[in-house]
Structure 1
Amino acid sequence: MGKDVQQTKHRRWLWLGGIFTLLIIVALAQWLWQQDEVELGLLQINGRIEGDLIAVAPKAAGRVVELKVREGDEVRAGQLLARLEQSAVGAQLVEANATQRAFESQAKAQVIGLNVLRAETPIQLTSARAGIQAAQADLRRAEAATAQEKRDLARVRDLADRHFLSPQAVEKSELALRAATEQEAVARGALTRARQAERDAELAPLRIRSRTAETAATHAQAQAAAARVNQARSQVDDLLIYAPSSGRISARYVNAGEVVTIGTPLFGLTDLTHVYLKAYVPEPMLGRIRLGQLAQIWVDAFADQPFDAKLGFIASRAEFTPKEVQTRDERTKLVYEVRLYPSADPGGKLLPGQPADAMIRHVDTAVWRKPSH
């Protein structure tokens, strides 16, 4: 029986020794493979796909009345994401529009009146001067008639005093003189009115300048009203939150009914056309890489499709391997963060959070190979 126990212990030690030896062989093979890989001009790294998170926030404060998207939705640049309450600002926009239309209508009427005045001024001036000439001619005729009637009355009276004419003839001549005098007064009044019309016509340029200034003032008021309309419209637009770029909604921070202030993030948006692989390079390998080197990114979802990339970022300071690295031993190593940016739009095939492997070619003649797991 003691012999069986010894044989069992012996077999157990052989079994443990075999496992230990196998582990050493596997580790040695992996190390040799990695060394061979480095010698072949390729450096394998692994990490996660990341994307820059855009905080979508309103330019105005207000109550959230509608949310158009939720986490995981893909959106286009300019797509409406949310709407804030618009009642007060909307009323201001309606009032500003009405004021603008009123001033614009007034300005149009003033322009029409001004154009009519400009067109009528030369006509009125010509007509007034012609009226003066006509009134002067009428007055000269009336004065001549009055003078003639005075002479006729003097002759009639002389003849009546000598009993050659009757008293009725004198009365008739006096009536004719009175009529001529009245006609002269009428002609003189017409000349006065014609001269006044000429003075009024000559003042037309002053009225034109005055009307022009009034029209300009009304135009300025209309422009100020238009500025208020634009301001109110901008305030209304600020209550509509649009996607600044195409991408995927990564987070939603508010619910409908909540009151938000200016700059309060409503959504987190990730631009899927500008994702990158974030990984870490051990310090001894830092001398083999440089910005602009070509690389290939591999993800499990597309195991046979590498994504061409370039090394676009190398951290300037070393750090201990981040906590997301699984083994404790690995977390104690000094590493440098690097980022690989795809050379073309991955078309939504590379998503933030995906684990990925990559090969960086640090020797130009190196032949691409798929990363090992």
Structure 2
Amino acid sequence: MSPIRASHYALLALMPALIAACSEPARDTYQGYIEGEFVNLASSQGGRLEKLDVARGQQVAADAPLFVLESADETAGVQQAARQLSAAEAQLADIRVGKRPQEIDVTRAQLVQAEANARKAALQLTRDEGQLRIGGIAQAQLDESRAQAEATAAQVRQLRSQLAVDALPSRSEQIRAQSAQVDAARAALAQAQWRLDQKTVAAPAAGLVYDTLFRRGEWVAAGNAVVRMLPPENVKVRFFVPQGVVGSIAPGRALTIRCDGCEAPVDARVTFISNEAEFTPPVIYSNENRAKLVFMIEARPTPADAPRLRPGQPVEVVLK
């Protein structure tokens, strides 16, 4: 056999090994995919979607308005609770102050009039007693005069007692009871305001509006998500490593994410390592099936690099 033909056969024999070597992935390089932990934003109250401030694919800042539900009933509830609180506070202030000077003056004037009536009734009783002794009037007239005198005297005692009570401060029990009414009214107002605030939903953090699930004018039941967001810190990569490698990886280990169309690799760090194998053989472990065991690992890029990645995107992970 000629030397040229011998070298040709040798090269053909090495071809399968060369092809296998080229097809094998580089060491510490694994296939994975991007996943997003979406935030579904909803209201605890139901209502018609009145305003939708964002669109799919839009980047929004933290606290940016997302959507508004109709709130006529909740607005009326806040107004009603506010008026009830004002009434309770006014009544408490009135109890603490007690009677006003003008009210006391009215009672004093009534007492003066009652005292005059009592004196008049007492004089009439004295005259009727004298007339009865000389036979000038009947006994019935004297009894009427005596009853009138007693009634006017009782009215004088009542008004004097009323003036004494008006001068006293309100009882502490009344003040405590009315203070409790004020606290209850204040809590009712806070509850009504909370319900009203729930009709307006803002972004809890900056991120991507991944999708909008309702259109303006549609009825949204309580708890139904209207906007689905993806904050950059919720973007992660998932990849799988053999059981012989997982022991050498710890949380915090740096890695590089490569993807088709990416201008540059994206740096990330391991945040989670699964404690369970993704594949369990149906029989006892052997050297052959142990090689089939893989463990899932998650890593997260920095929030600045996360927008360069998309959920579902296949990537290549290179451990550092």
TM-score normalised according to structure 2 size = 0.64
Could you tell me which residue of structure 2 aligns to residue 28 of structure 1? 21
Cα gap change, 1:75 to 1:229, in 2 (>3 Å): same
RMSD over aligned CA atoms reads 3.7
Residue of structure 2 aligned with 1:340, choices 281, 299, 307? 299
Structure 2: any 5+ residue segments left out of the alignment?
1-7, 105-155, 281-291
- Report what 2:319 is aligned to: 360
Per-residue deviation at 1:76? 2.8
Instruction: For residue 302 of structure 1, report the CA deviation from its aligned partner.
Output: 5.0
Q: Residue 66 of structure 1 corresponds to which residue in structure 2? A: 51
Distance 1:308 1:53, change over 3 A: closer
Counterpart code for 2:87 = A
Please tell me whether the aligned partners of residues 282 and 335 of structure 1 are also in contact (alpha carbons under 8 angstroms). Answer: yes
Q: 1:244 to 1:349 in 2, by over 3 A?
A: closer
- Residue 305 to residue 231, structure 1, CA distance change in 2 (3 Å): same
- Specify the code of the residue in structure 2 equivalent to 1:337: M
1:280 aligns with 2:265: no
How do 1:248-259 and structure 2 match up within 5 A? 248-259=208-219
Give yes or no for the alignment of 1:238 onto 2:223: no
Question: Would the aligned equivalents of 1:77 and 1:244 in 2 still touch at CA under 8 Å?
Answer: yes
* Shift in Å, 1:198: 8.2
Query: Per the alignment, in what secondary structure is the counterpart of residue 230 of structure 1?
Result: helix
Higher helix share: 1
Whole-Å Cα distance in 1 between the matches of residues 73 and 227 of structure 2? 25
Q: Secondary structure at the match of 2:225?
A: coil
Retained in 2: the 8 A contact 1:247–1:269? yes
Query: Aligned partners of 1:311, 1:223: CA distance in 2, in Å?
Result: 48
Report the CA distance shift for 1:23/1:266 in structure 2 as closer, same or farther (over 3 A).
farther
Q: Quote the sequence identity (%).
A: 22
SS in 1 for 2:276: coil
Residue 81 (structure 1) shift:
1.3
In the TM superposition, what whole-angstrom CA distance separates every residue of 1:4-61 from its partner, at most 9, and x where no partner exists? xxxxxxxxxx9xx97x975752332453x73xx4xxxxx1123222221112121012
Change (3 A) 1:107 1:349: same
Question: How many equivalent pairs are there?
Answer: 249
**Residue identity matched to 2:254:** L
Residue identity matched to 1:84: L
CA distance in 2, matches of 1:284, 1:348: 30
CA contact (8 A) 1:297 1:309 kept: no
- Cα distance in 1 for residues equivalent to 2:85 and 2:157: 43
State the match for 2:272 in structure 1. 312
Letter in 2 for 1:245: A
Distance 1:77 1:315 in 2: 35
Q: Deviations over 1:151-194 (max 9, x none)?
A: xxxxxxxxxxxxxxxxxxxxxxxxxxxxxxxxxxxxxxxxxxx9
Q: How does 1:33-112 map to 2 (within 5 A)?
A: 34=26, 37=27, 43-112=28-97
Please identify the structure whose Cα radius of gyration is greater. 1
Alpha-carbon distance between aligned partners in 2 of 1:44 and 1:102, rounded to the nearest angstrom: 72
- Letter aligned with residue 336 of structure 1: F
Distance 2:271 2:193 in 1: 45
Deviation at 1:86, TM superposition (A): 0.8
- TM-superposed CA distance for 1:299, in Å, is 4.2
1:337–1:214 CA distance, 2 compared to 1 (3 A): same
Query: In 2, Cα distance between the equivalents of 1:93 and 1:216?
Result: 25
Cα 1:80–1:103 shift into 2, 3 Å = same
- Helix, strand or coil for the counterpart of 1:352? coil
The one-letter code sitting in structure 2 at the alignment partner of 1:63 is R
> 1:80 Cα deviation (Å)?
2.1
Partner of 2:4: none
Displacement of 1:204 in angstroms is 5.7
Q: CA deviation at 1:277?
A: 1.2
1:97 is paired with a residue whose SS is helix
Asked if 2 retains the 8 angstrom alpha-carbon contact of 1:249 and 1:267, the reply is yes
